[in-house]
């Protein structure tokens, strides 16, 4: 039943989904499609991730195809079936499915869960909260490193959890937005450069890079545009500096929002992360203390959340402009 892509009706539906996510987030008592996608991936990974390097890569590509195409087809079929029963039922179902692809409230709440105990010097509680949203070891992190983890998470997930789902939703409704979330979930589960997943997750990681390529760069732009309305943001030369720094990040996409947020806050992100006791060095992004940057402090977390909200709002407005132009030309 999904509405025509880049239409005013679909724009209205996506905007309503944003409001639903802002108001209620992801209630735990309701079933979540991404959870089902995760179970499917886990089951197939256990069954298929074995054999030679070549076999693992082929089975990983098959996994990626089945999960992404299967997710899209199932969502489309369910909506089409509901539309034959009742259009309002199909509308409500698509609205709910679209809302499940967004994580605006959840991301902001997760970052505040790190900031709130940190503001009262409760480092153990802040470390525990950060451990819920990052893969790095958090047991020995000090205030600056806890802030860095939270700010980096907000910046990177502005794309994965908000703007990229909005982008794909406006191009293909709930089925395409859910297919994107399937790609994103595949990458988070099997897209690691480890002995276990280097071959099996190769296709998933590459598809995730492709799916996020344009949304990540558009998000950096919209974060910058929104920042001009925010007092204290460092906007001058930020766009060109982000362009130069973003490719330093090991991910071809995550560096764009992270470098932009670091520049806007006037802080330095990146450095050493520890995963299961093994140190991993990440390129530094942003403004160092020697260049006039600020030391990371708990107040930077709510600032990052404000930039997140400004970025997705301008992103949605630009997409709305694209819809308006498209409707005017047809």
Please indicate, yes or no, if residue 68 is contained in any of the structural domains: yes
Q: What is the pLDDT confidence band of residue 114, given thresholds at 50, 70 and 90?
A: very high
Instruction: Please give the tally of structural domains in the chain.
Output: 1
What's the farthest any 2 CA atoms get from each other in the chain? 65
Q: What is the pLDDT confidence band of residue 31, given thresholds at 50, 70 and 90?
A: confident
Instruction: Evaluate if residue 328 carries a pLDDT over 80.
Output: no
Q: What is the pLDDT confidence band of residue 50, given thresholds at 50, 70 and 90?
A: very high
Q: How far is CA 257 from CA 126, 204, 298, in A?
A: 23, 21, 20
Please indicate, yes or no, if residue 186 is contained in any of the structural domains: yes
pTM over 0.85, yes/no? yes
Instruction: Evaluate if residue 29 carries a pLDDT over 80.
Output: no
The residue segments making up the domain with residue 66 are 8-329
Q: What is the pLDDT confidence band of residue 73, given thresholds at 50, 70 and 90?
A: very high
For residues 231, 236, 264, 297, the Cα torsion angle rounded to the nearest 10 degrees is -80
Q: What is the pLDDT confidence band of residue 87, given thresholds at 50, 70 and 90?
A: very high
13 sits in which H/E element: helix 8-24
Please indicate, yes or no, if residue 278 is contained in any of the structural domains: yes
Q: Which residue has the higher pLDDT, 193 or 97?
A: 97
Please indicate, yes or no, if residue 292 is contained in any of the structural domains: yes
Q: How far is CA 252 from CA 15, 177, 196, 304, in A?
A: 29, 21, 22, 21
121-136 average pLDDT score: 95
315 sits in which H/E element: helix 300-329
Please indicate, yes or no, if residue 1 is contained in any of the structural domains: no
Q: How far is CA 291 from CA 263, 266, 287, 288, 297, in A?
A: 11, 9, 6, 5, 17
Please indicate, yes or no, if residue 3 is contained in any of the structural domains: no
| Residue percentage of the chain with pLDDT more than 90 | 80
Question: Which residue carries 């990040």 as its tokens?
Answer: 249
Please indicate, yes or no, if residue 2 is contained in any of the structural domains: no
Tokens in use for 253? 């996409």
Q: State the pairing for strand pair 268-275/278-286.
A: antiparallel
Q: What are phi and psi of 51, to 5 degrees?
A: 95, -160
């Amino acid at each position: 039943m999904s509405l025509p892509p880049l239409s005013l009706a679909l724009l209205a539906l996506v905007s309503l989904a944003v409001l639903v996510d802002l108001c209620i987030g992801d209630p735990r008592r309701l079933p979540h499609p991404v959870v089902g996608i995760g179970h499917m991936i886990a089951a197939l990974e256990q069954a298929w991730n074995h054999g030679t390097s070549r076999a693992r890569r082929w089975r990983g590509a098959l996994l990626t195809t089945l999960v992404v195409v299967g997710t899209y087809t199932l969502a489309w079929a369910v909506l089409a079936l509901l539309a034959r029963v009742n259009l309002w039922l199909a509308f409500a179902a698509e609205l709910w499915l679209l809302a499940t692809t967004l994580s605006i409230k959840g991301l902001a709440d997760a970052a505040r869960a790190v900031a709130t105990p940190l503001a009262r010097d409760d480092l153990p509680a802040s470390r525990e909260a950060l451990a819920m949203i990052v893969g790095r070891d958090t047991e020995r992190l000090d205030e600056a490193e806890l802030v860095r983890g939270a700010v980096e998470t907000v910046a990177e997930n502005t794309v994965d959890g908000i703007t990229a789902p909005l982008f794909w939703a406006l191009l293909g409704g709930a089925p395409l937005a859910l297919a994107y979330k399937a790609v994103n979930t595949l990458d988070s589960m099997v897209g690691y450069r480890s002995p276990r997943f280097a071959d099996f997750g190769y296709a998933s990681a590459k598809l995730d890079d492709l799916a996020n390529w344009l949304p990540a760069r558009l998000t950096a732009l919209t974060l910058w545009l929104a920042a001009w309305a925010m007092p204290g943001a460092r906007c001058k030369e930020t766009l060109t500096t982000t362009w130069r720094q973003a490719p330093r990040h090991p991910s071809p996409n995550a560096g764009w929002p992270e470098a932009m947020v670091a520049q806007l806050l006037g802080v330095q992100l990146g450095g050493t992360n520890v995963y299961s006791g093994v140190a991993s060095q990440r390129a530094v992004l942003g403004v160092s203390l020697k260049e006039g940057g600020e030391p990371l402090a708990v107040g930077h977390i709510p600032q990052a959340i404000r930039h997140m909200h400004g970025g997705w709002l301008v992103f949605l407005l630009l997409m709305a402009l694209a819809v308006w132009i498209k409707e005017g030309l047809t």
